[in-house]
Structure 1
Amino acid sequence: MIAIDGPSGAGKGTVAREVAIALGYRHVDSGAMYRAVGWKALQEHVALDSDEAVSKLASASRIDVSTARVLIDGTDVTRAIRTPEIDRAATAVARLPGVRAVLVDRQRVLGERGAIVMEGRDIGTVVFPNADVKIYLDASPEERARRRASDPAHSGPTAVGEVATLLTARDEIDRTRAASPLYAAPDAVVVDTTGQNVDQVVREVLTVIRSKLKT
């Protein structure tokens, strides 16, 4: 089990996918599960601040993140969940303890067979505190904003300043929420991706993983 955590724009998604390919492991984006729940809650007009209602919705939903596509109840929402509206919805539902409990249980089931790279914000601290390797990716606020603004997978603002403001707000929410706040696990290896391209970061992360797995 390889846990990769970090804030938005640090490079988790791209790096986790490439690392999984290099190792021959499965890749799971835990954040896509929260996005899918947020998307469905909006579709069904469920109040995003109602833990009881959203938890019930999450529990009743079939969420598949086992491939490059994201499905909820058979509907492909891969593109639909990468919008500013769903960014906000995912942030809202991710703060709800009941929703996190439902999705953390599912993430643990996905990880039972091992040989998996799972990315998120609480994988190494809450979901798999005993993960074989824990990586925490970070980057300067400016770098993260630039990456997110130019990311074709996300629709929305492209002005770096506007994106930076949104990321700062998201960081504050993630780091101060009561349920599974974002922070680097004490035994995680922190990798600063500022100024590095994807290949460089992937090589560094793979070096860490292979070193850890040998010991």
Structure 2
Amino acid sequence: MKKINIAIDGPSGVGKSSVAKEIAKRLDLVFINTGLMYRAIGYYCLNHNIDLENEQKIIESLKEIDLNLLPNEKIELNGVDITNKLWSDQISLIASKVAKLPKVREFCVHKQQLIAKNNPGIVMEGRDIGSVVLKDAELKIFLEANNEIRTKRRVEQLLAKGINANEADVLKNIIERDKRDSERDATPLIKVPEAIAIDTSYLTLEEVIQNIVELAKEII
């Protein structure tokens, strides 16, 4: 089967990871979750007491950070797998703060593009994949969902990971992150013209997956 690159973008809580992971499995492609990089950098800043308002300190810390983004939604920070430590809302908010910095995004995008270059045939999800990281992806998808559904999904995701979650707090964090992601100067969250938008609010996971798999098969 021909290998193609698929870019999946969208805000948090729309099902990007679940969809991308299953599509990669069905089409025999490599799944990469780019958001883990920003979470890992946020985790590093938190654990080294780096002031998130001090852009220069965050940029300097990049010299001390070695990230290894692995298939199957895993990441190593300086040789240690920290994947299970990255899913709290606190890390989500910190990640969105560091992700707005141009130098941080440049650092991560470079690594992501190297992964794509060395692994033809990938499904990569994030917020700037179709617009920046995989500009030449054969298929670009932009997933959407209403805030009520996104909040419910996020709460369920956190509870499944053993993290207590309050719906009001989760909704507040979603709104704040959307604003930060869409208004940042460096590679903001956007839907590129060639991307196919899919509203996942009232679709089952299987319906979304089937839709995208059919689109991919048409290209293949």
Do both share a fold (TM > 0.5)?
Answer: yes
Structure 2: which 5+ residue stretches go unaligned?
Answer: none
Distance across 2 between alignment mates of 1:156 and 1:120:
25
**Relative to structure 2, which stretch is displaced further, 102-111 or 189-198?**
189-198
CA offset at residue 70 of structure 1?
A: 2.0
Picking from 125, 130, 135, the partner of 1:129 is 135
- Partner letter of residue 163 of structure 2? S
The share of aligned pairs that are identical, in percent, is 33
Preserved contact between residue 89 and residue 170 of structure 2 (Cα < 8 Å): no
- Partner letter of residue 176 of structure 1? E
Which residue does 2:38 correspond to in 1? 34
CA offset at residue 176 of structure 1?
A: 0.7
Q: Structure 1 residues 111, 208: CA separation in 2 closer, same or farther (over 3 Å shift)?
A: same
Which residue does 1:155 correspond to in 2? 163
Preserved contact between residue 84 and residue 156 of structure 1 (Cα < 8 Å): no
Q: Trace 1:1-215 onto structure 2 (pairs within 5 A).
A: 1-68=5-72, 69-113=74-118, 114-151=120-157, 152-153=160-161, 155-159=163-167, 161-211=168-218, 213-214=219-220
Distance across 2 between alignment mates of 1:154 and 1:163:
15
RMSD: 1.5
Preserved contact between residue 82 and residue 154 of structure 1 (Cα < 8 Å): no
CA offset at residue 190 of structure 1?
A: 0.5
CA offset at residue 60 of structure 1?
A: 3.5
- Partner letter of residue 165 of structure 2? P
Distance across 2 between alignment mates of 1:131 and 1:120:
14
CA offset at residue 156 of structure 1?
A: 4.3
Distance across 2 between alignment mates of 1:57 and 1:169:
25
Distance across 1 between alignment mates of 2:8 and 2:207:
16
TM-score (norm 2): 0.91
TM-score (norm 1): 0.93
Deviations 1:49-71 (A, max 9, x none): 33333233234422122133221
- Partner letter of residue 155 of structure 1? I
Preserved contact between residue 97 and residue 180 of structure 2 (Cα < 8 Å): no
> How many corresponding residue pairs?
212
